[in-house]
Amino acid sequence: MTVSRVDHDALTELFNIGLHKAAAALSELTGQRILVDLPRLWVCPIAETHARLRDLMEGELATVHQVFMGSMTGDAVLVLEYENASRLAALLTHGDVASDGRLDQSAREVLAEVGNVILSSCLSAFGDMLHVAVSFSVPRIHVESLEGLLRSLKVEKDEMHYTLLAATRFRLTEGEVGGYLLIAVGIASLELISKALAEHEP
Amino acid sequence: MASIIIADDSAFTRRTHRRILESDGHVVLEAASGMAALESFAVNRPDLLLLDLTMEDMSGLDVLTRVLEMDSTARVVVISADVQRSTAQLVADAGALRFLGKPVTSETLLGTVRELLSEIAS
Amino acid sequence: MSRDELLLSADGESLTVLHELAQVLELGVLTVDRSLTITSCNRWLAAAMPQARSSIVGQPLLTVFPELRGSAAEQAFHGALAGATTVWAHRFHRYLLPLPPRPTVSEGRFDRMQQSAHVMPLGRGGAIEGVVVIIQDVTERVTREEQLREALAQAEVASQAKSDFLAAMSHELRTPLGAIIGYMDLLESDMVGPVAPLQKQYLGRVKSAARHLIHIIEEILTFSRVEAGKEPIALEAVDGVALVQSVVELFEPQAATKRVGLHATLPSAPVMLFTDPTKLRQILINVIGNAMKFTDAGSVRVAMSCDAERVSFGITDTGPGISHDDVGRIFDPFTQLDQSLTRPKGGTGLGLPVSRKLAHLLGGDLLVHSVVGVGTTFTLWLPIVGDPTGALPTAPTGAQAIA
């Protein structure tokens, strides 16, 4: 199943809105001005995802997972390379955590909250725009390898799995960090999204 | 019934907002970039300009400033995904009449347009 | 079922299991219903609260915790009723529920228990029955983190104070000595009036003593700087052979006066090193000078050789040698072996320790091998960074004897 150009553009805009909402929430939380870049989007079957991700990132990854269910089901993940994760945590807390580049307990808590805000904002942007209801699980933070991440993606068995992968940068006054949002869904959910986009009435 | 330019580099957004505005009887022109928005404004002198802030070729704030230089009575509504408070302030200071956060509902969009058009009439 | 799935699909039976679990956790668990009335509170949390459990369960949340009214925490509860999960990181919020700190833990640093928490809906989708809150007491961890930060800040201040002191000392000590030598030069030059030969001789000795004092001060300051880790290194490409040669030539007059042989065996082609030449000179001057000082008869030989990874400088003398017991202390600062023997030689006892530290700074080492009654060999080796230029002979050809 390929995604049409209209769908691609529409999905990009959905992620864009979700990420900006997240930036506004993070801005309230941290008291800093935060800008996000227009995301680059890829939609691909899960088999291709591994190769795509390997091109984009390397080394240990810090990930925040949030499983969602309802009319759409899947796994949403914020993925950051380890160094970027510690830099993001340090930037958002003015160096109070992770200033030595390591993700200790405090830094992980910060990232879990940040990840929760970002993932929830994006998923609810999807939900609102497409008139689908979703509820989320408790977000979990892991430090893992790319293989570990892909193995852990929870999508219903016996279905073709797809991932929506969005790449963006978070820009703060004292620095910027690149990161990825990965939403893994089954084919049923992907078709639902496509249908909802075509019928989209705000 | 008014002439309105929609300036946004997302085709999805332009299509969505066009549908809403045309359903209320307005005439809609699209601009997919900052430069296109300025050209279209200069040529068409619309009643209203709906402007996105983050476009690839120019910042929406630049477009806003230049449009007002061209015509100080220009009516510009900024519609943007960037919903931070500081942004809304910047936009207001630069001379926009309204700031709407994405996603915009059809009620909000039509309501804002009607409000601003009735201000012209009176 | 994982624990969070348990929480999300809380029907009557699983709620019972949840309550059982909650009683034994070292975490606070609180549940409220849709009207934000407290429906349960686990043992840990009840113990952390001043009120009795009976005046908590069944009471409105905002009556038990009036501080929550209008706060971001209250919003989190309403968010959960709408289906959202909130992660409440300590760094952003400090605490969720205002509770007194546990006395043994915070040492008076905080007036509230420091917490991280999760605020989650009970139930799912259209059937959300209430909110469950899980609170972790992170006061101990946060206290330790703050203490560590404070210690680091203090260490930084101390380190800065040391730097400032060394810089000031350097300047304060050199200035008057510079003046002393300067005025001596003026006097010696007859510019302020004629000076008799004997007077010139005395002036010469004063100057010599002043220069010696400067040398000692330099040594002490270098040693302090290296100890404090504040000695900067300036790396550049330099020909090792030429450098050694120039240092050896410095000692020719002294060798001639003492009637001690001074020989250098060096490679015939240049050996490019990427190192700090000033420090390399300093080390060589120290070690060769030391050999010259302790050798009254015989010779001092300087040999330079290199392989693919290292360049080595060997300085061999025919002095009295160092015993097994003493050889271990030779690089200890301020230790001079057997005061009676060395007292006439002078010095601070810092030359060799400083040289070794400088060698380490340059990525190498200074080693000693000695036989009593035969002599001593000091070996300085440095890493060759990158390729040496051209093909180098491993055995030097064309020994050059000096004097």
Helix, strand, coil tally for chain A in percent (to 5): 45, 30, 25
C375-383 vs C400-402, strand pairing mode? unpaired
Share of chain C above pLDDT 70, in %: 86
Length of chain A: 202
What's the pLDDT score for residue A156? 57
C152 touching A (Cβ < 8 Å): no
Would you place residue A125 in the very low, low, confident or very high pLDDT band (cuts 50, 70, 90)? confident
Contact B5, B40 (CB under 8 A): yes
Percentage of chain A beyond pLDDT 90 is 46
What type of residue sits at position B61? L
* pLDDT for residue C225 is more than 70: yes
Q: How many domains does chain A have?
A: 1
Query: What region does C58 belong to: left with phi over 0, alpha with psi -120 to 50, or beta?
Result: left
Element (H, E) at C173: helix C139-188
Q: Does B33 touch chain A (CB under 8 A)?
A: no
pLDDT recorded at residue A77? 94
| Lowest-confidence region among A17-21, B105-109, C219-223 | C219-223
Contact: C8, A133; criterion CB under 8 Å: no
Residues A108, C303: Cα–Cα separation, whole Å: 58
User: Most distant CA pair in chain B: distance in Å?
Assistant: 37
Specify the pLDDT at position C328.
Answer: 78
Residue B54 in contact with partner chain A when CB distance is under 8 A: yes
**pLDDT interval class at A92 (50, 70, 90):** very high
Q: What separation in angstroms does the CA of A114 have from each of A79, B28, B88, C145? A: 12, 40, 23, 21
Rounded CA-CA distance B76/B35 in Å is 16
The answer to whether the beta carbons of residues C277 and C240 sit under 8 Å apart is no
Q: What one-character-per-residue DSSP string does C251-313 give? A: THHHHHHHT-EEEEE--SS--EEEE-HHHHHHHHHHHHHHHHHH-SSSEEEEEEEE-SSEEEE
Rounded average pLDDT over C305-332:
87
Alpha-helical (H) ranges within chain B are: 11-23, 34-44, 60-70, 85-93, 106-121
Task: Tell me the C-alpha distance between A80 and C276, whole Å.
Answer: 41
Side-chain-side CA neighbours of residue A46 (13 Å): 23
Identify the band that residue A141 occupies on the pLDDT scale cut at 50, 70 and 90: very high
Cβ-based neighbour number of residue C108 at 10 Å? 7
- Of A109, A133, A138, nearest to C89 by CB-CB distance is A109
Q: Do A109 and C83 touch (CB under 8 A)?
A: no
Tokens of B107: 């009620």
Q: What percentage of chain A carries pLDDT values higher than 70?
A: 93
Tell me the per-residue pLDDT of C370-398, one tens digit each, with 9 for 90 and over.
Answer: 988 889 999 999 988 654 444 333 333 33
Question: Cα(C64)–Cα(C98) distance, rounded to whole angstroms?
Answer: 10
Q: What is the pLDDT of residue A115?
A: 95
The average confidence (pLDDT) of chain A is 87
pLDDT score of C367 more than 90: yes
User: How much is the pLDDT for C336?
Assistant: 61
Angle at C231 (CA atoms; ends C274, C357), nearest 5 degrees = 75
Q: What is the CA radius of gyration of chain C?
A: 38
pLDDT value at position C20?
75
> Which domain does B96 fall in, by range?
3-121
Residue-level pLDDT, tens digit, chain B, 122 residues:
889 999 998 988 999 999 999 999 999 999 999 999 999 999 889 999 999 998 888 889 999 999 999 899 999 999 999 888 888 899 999 999 999 998 898 999 999 999 998 887 66
pLDDT tens digit string along A148-174?
888 887 655 556 688 899 999 999 999
Which member of B10, B12, B84 has the closest CB to residue A24? B84
Whole-angstrom Cα distance, residue C286 to residue C366? Answer: 12
Report chain B's C-alpha Rg in angstroms.
13
- Identify the H or E element spanning C201: helix C197-227
Q: Name A31's Cβ contacts closer than 8 Å, sequence gap at least 6.
A: none
- Asked if C4 and A109 come within 8 Å (Cβ–Cβ), the reply is no
The better pLDDT of the pair A101, C38 is held by C38
Which residues are CB-contacts of C192 (< 8 A; sequence separation ≥ 6)?
C186
CATH code: domain of residue B8: 3.40.50.2300
Q: Phi, psi at residue B29, to the nearest 5°?
A: -115, 145
Q: How many CB atoms lie within 10 A of CB A131?
A: 11
Q: What is the pLDDT of residues B54-66, one digit of tens each?
A: 888 888 999 999 9
Better-scored residue on pLDDT, A22 or C323: A22
Which of C83, C141, C145 is closest, CB to CB, to A135?
C83
Q: What's chain C's average pLDDT?
A: 83
Q: What single string gives the DSSP state of each residue in A8-42?
A: HHHHHHHHHHHHHHHHHHHHHHHSS--EEPPPEEE
**DSSP helix/strand/coil, A95:** coil
Answer yes or no: are the C-beta atoms of C396 and C267 closer than 8 Å. yes
Q: CB of C169 within 8 A of CB of C221?
A: yes
- Of B10, B83, B86, which is closest to A13 when you measure between CB atoms? B10
**Chain C residues inside the 8 Å CB shell of A113:** 87-89, 92
CB C265 within 8 A of CB C400: yes
Confirm whether the ipTM is greater than 0.85. Answer: yes
* CB atoms inside a 10 Å sphere around CB C127: 11
- Whole-model pTM? 0.67
Looking at the structure of chain B, the number of domains it has is 1
Q: Report the C-alpha gap between B37 and C40 in whole angstroms.
A: 59
More confident residue, A188 or A80: A80
Tell me what pLDDT residue C3 has: 42
User: Of all helices (H) and strands (E), which one includes residue A189?
Assistant: helix A187-198
What is residue C402's predicted lDDT score, i.e. its pLDDT? Answer: 33
Q: For B79, which DSSP code?
A: E
In this complex, which of C5, C7, C91 lies closest to A109 when CB atoms are compared? C91
CA distance A33 to A19: 14
| Pick from C88, C91, C142: CB nearest A93 | C91
The residue among B23 and C347 whose pLDDT is bigger is B23
The mean pLDDT of A9-23, rounded to a whole number, is 92
Q: Give per-residue pLDDT as tens, C57-113.
A: 999 999 999 999 999 999 999 999 988 899 999 999 999 999 998 777 667 788 899
Check A135 against C7: CB less than 8 A apart: no
Question: Contact B83/A35, CB-based, under 8 Å?
Answer: no
A13 contacts chain B (CB < 8 A): yes
Cα gap A89→A96, rounded to integer Å:
9
For residue C1, pLDDT over 50 is answered with no
Residue-wise pLDDT tens digits, A47-79: 788 889 888 988 899 999 998 888 888 889 999
Search chain A and give the residue with CA nearest B110.
A202
A199 Cβ under 8 Å from any chain B Cβ: no
Are C124 and A139 a contacting pair at CB < 8 A?
A: no
| CATH number of domain containing A151 | 3.40.1550.10
Place of tokens 């009976």: C54
Sign of CA dihedral A111, A116, A117, A122: positive
Alpha-carbon dihedral of residues C228, C231, C233, C234, nearest 10 degrees?
A: 160
34-53 of B, contacting A, C-beta below 8 A: none
Interface check for C102 against chain A (CB to CB < 8 A): the answer is no
The answer to which of B51-55, C8-12, C331-335 has the lowest mean pLDDT is C8-12
Are residues A125 and C115 in contact, defined by beta-carbon separation less than 8 angstroms? no
Eight-state DSSP code of residue C71: S
- Phi and psi of A58, rounded to 5°? -145, 160
In chain B, which residue's Cα lies nearest the Cα of A199? B16
What is the band of C133 on the pLDDT scale with cuts at 50, 70, 90? very high
With a CB cutoff of 8 Å and minimum separation 6, the contacts of A91 are A172, A174, A175, A177
| Distance, CA of C318 to chain centre | 39
Q: What residues form DSSP beta bridges with C389?
A: none
Residue C118, token pair as written in the block:
């999760």
Q: Are C261 and C316 within 8 A, CB to CB?
A: no
